[in-house]
Amino acid sequence: MRKILIALATLAVTGVAGTVSTTTPAAAAQHHRPAPMTKERQDKPFSLESFFVGRLVAQGSFVSRIDGNRRDLVAKMRGSWDGKTLTLVEDFVYADGERDRKTWRFTKVGPGRYVGTREDVIGEATVRDLGGRITLDYTATVRKKDGGAYDLRFADEIVPAGPGRALNTATVSLLFFPVGDVRLDIRRIGR
């Protein structure tokens, strides 16, 4: 059972994955500085559609709660808003060279409420804007290299972290047991 949980924890971060890039996390930190937010964007409250439109880069890691293993990653993102739906394409590259692409579609269904879909998400993600803090709850199918798969639950929280920056933290669980944590520092890099 321990080996299964370690394998799940190591693979869990691929449920959040997606940018095609040859940039290492260290190089991304040096070359991608936050784009300053315009006066118009600074006046808007933090929300999916106010922050995630344009080009962004995220740098972070998944850390297993079981054995402490860490898997670093960089994600390049592009977001577009059509007045109702935010489409967010995420291209991931991991420190071990693995690459992945995922595309979120967040549809606003009411004040501070969205539903999210992505190719690996089972059903819909529940997304809430809680006034300066965004939460996402969803279950994603994470594929293993041997062809098997696990359904892992993600509980994300995204908060502003300064001009042009946000911090995304997530707890990853299997059968209600936390198996790992994700931390991503997200920076705007332009339109």
Residue ranges and CATH numbers for the domains of the chain are 2-190 (2.40.128.120)
Query: How many whole angstroms separate alpha carbon 162 and alpha carbon 158?
Result: 12
- Percent of all residues in the chain with a pLDDT value above 90, rounded to a whole number: 68
What digits encode the pLDDT tens for the residues 137-188? 999 998 877 889 999 999 999 999 999 999 999 999 999 899 999 999 999 9
Amino acid at 96: D
Confidence at residue 55, expressed as pLDDT on a 0 to 100 scale: 98
Tell me which residue of 23, 188, 3, 169 sits closest to 91, measured CA to CA.
23
List the alpha helices (DSSP H) in 86-144. Answer: none
pLDDT at 190 over 80: no
Query: 70-88 as b/e, with b when 16 or more CB fall inside 10 Å?
Result: ebbbbbbbbbebeeebbbb
Residue (of 100, 120, 102, 113) closest to 47 by Cα position: 113
- Distance CA(60)–CA(74), nearest Å, equals 7
Segment 19-60, tens digit of pLDDT: 223 333 343 333 333 344 444 344 568 899 999 999 999 999
Among the residue ranges 91-100, 115-124, 137-146, the one predicted with the least confidence is 137-146
Q: What is the distance between the alpha carbons of residues 182 and 13, in angstroms, rounded to a whole number? A: 7
Q: Does the structure show a pLDDT above 60 at 69? A: yes
The enclosing H or E element of 138 equals: strand 134-143
Residue 144: predicted pLDDT: 79
